[in-house]
Structure 1
Amino acid sequence: MGLFLVLIVSVFIMSALTPKPPQPKPTAFEDIDFPQAEEGTAQSAVFGQVWSKGWMVLTVGNYRTRPIVKKAGKK
């Protein structure tokens, strides 16, 4: 019983003395490196999801600035 009590106390002390990690800075839109189209490169319009060997980004839309929150529904 005494060993179990020492174990519980040491876990509480260890969790209290552990330094908290710093919160990461949220990613800004400027931090994301999108490949840009160069002049003279053939451009194609794709609707949907496809694999392409030479892909580039012409426009970026629907960039979310709020975190995505998953809602739990009732049954």
Structure 2
Amino acid sequence: MPFFLIPLLINLIIGIALQALGYLLMPKSKSEKTDEVTDMDSPTAEGGRPIPVVFGEMEVTGVNIVWFGDKATTTRKIKA
């Protein structure tokens, strides 16, 4: 009877070891969230609010957002 449990225990130990190895080899986060990303933690959605149209650089506060995807910021440099 105990001979049936030995393969089960071996598979269980191998599985736990592989999960621990995968956790240790997992890539670490390079940086924390920036201020721009954490600023949008609690968006609001109200009807009738105007939608700002921005040309150039400008700080827009009180944004009316219904949904947005992955929170990230990108910086692009262009030659003009």
Q: TM-score band, normalised by the shorter chain?
A: 0.3 to 0.5
Query: Which is richer in helix?
Result: 2
Give me the TM-score of the superposition, normalised by structure 1: 0.36
Give me the TM-score of the superposition, normalised by structure 2: 0.34
